[in-house]
Every structure is written in structure tokens, then in C-alpha cells.
Amino acid sequence: MARTIGVIGDRWTLLILRECFLRTRRFEGFQSALGITRHLLAERLKKLVRQGILRRIPYQESPKRHEYILTQKGLDLYPIMMAIVHWGDIHMVDERGRPLLHQHRKCGKDFDPVMVCSECGEPLSAKEVHTHPGPGARSTPPNPAASKTKARSRAA
């Protein structure tokens, strides 16, 4: 999770990605949609390309122009987006209501995203889930790296 947050956990990246999902593809498009500074936008796009979340592809020669489109890795961020949007819809909307609705093409209805268990299909909530170490577990739960913080304990 820390690694993932290193990629998407800043003030702009998720907003840029949202624009991608809303079909924005070009520098000016992102800039005017978000009001992000051009400097930061260029930085973030570069980073997202490096991370393999966006691909930068030319749409014209002379002058060279590129557009940014989501890779599969980027498309896979969709549940994160939807989860964030949904939480905002529940907890952050003003009296006017939701700014955006989502319609599921398959069934034709406006929907909310629901997170379910892949094994039994039941909706999930925090207390129904038990977390336990996996194969890549860190040796010193919950965080060994934290101890490089100069080991505030006497560390016998």
C-alpha cells in the first residue's frame, strides 16, 4: 500500500487519472480541466508514463504532439477511482447532490459501486475481514522500515 501511495498518493495524480477516465488525453486538456500548474502537470504525466500507468503516443508529426492514454495497469485503477467517488458521493456532497452519475451499460441503470468478496460474492465491510500475513509479509510487523527512524527504543 505504501508503494501504491507513492504512485497515486498526491494532490494531483488521482485527479489527472480521473480526467483520463473521462476521456481527456492531451496536455492542454488536463491543464484547463484541472487548473494544475503546467510544471506539475508535465512532471506528473512523466511519472505516470514511467510507472506504466499512461502511455504517451504521437497523434501527429510536425510539430510532434502526443496524447496520454491509460494502459491496462492504469485502467485497473478504476475501482480505486470509483471507491473514492462513491465515498465522496456519500460523505462530501453539498445540498445540490452528486456532480456525476454513473450508468452501467450492461444493465442500463445508474448505479453505485459495491465491493464484494471474490469467493462468495457478499458485500464486504471492514469488520468482516480478518487480515493475516501473506508470502511477502514483512518480518517485523507492522513496519520494520520504521525502526530506521533512529530506533527510539533502547533496542537492547
> Given the rule CB under 7 A, which residues bind DNA?
10-12, 26-29, 36-40, 42-43, 45, 56, 62-63, 65-67, 149-150, 152-154
3-state DSSP call for residue 59?
strand
- Separation of alpha carbons 58 and 1, rounded Å: 33
- Say which entry of DNA, a second copy, none residue 120 contacts (CB below 5 to 8 A, set by partner kind): a second copy
Grid coordinates standing for 132? Answer: 493475516
- Separation of alpha carbons 40 and 79, rounded Å: 25
- Specify the residue, 62 or 139, whose C-beta has the smaller distance to a second copy: 139
Q: What are phi and psi of 137, to 5 degrees?
A: -60, 145
Q: Are 16 and 48 in contact (CB under 8 A)?
A: yes
- Say which entry of a second copy, DNA, none residue 39 contacts (CB below 5 to 8 A, set by partner kind): DNA
Q: What are phi and psi of 28, to 5 degrees?
A: -60, -35
- Say which entry of a second copy, DNA, none residue 22 contacts (CB below 5 to 8 A, set by partner kind): a second copy
- Say which entry of DNA, a second copy, none residue 50 contacts (CB below 5 to 8 A, set by partner kind): none
**In the complex, what is the shortest distance from the CB of residue 27 to a second copy, in angstroms, rounded to a whole number?**
13
**In the complex, what is the shortest distance from the CB of residue 61 to a second copy, in angstroms, rounded to a whole number?**
26
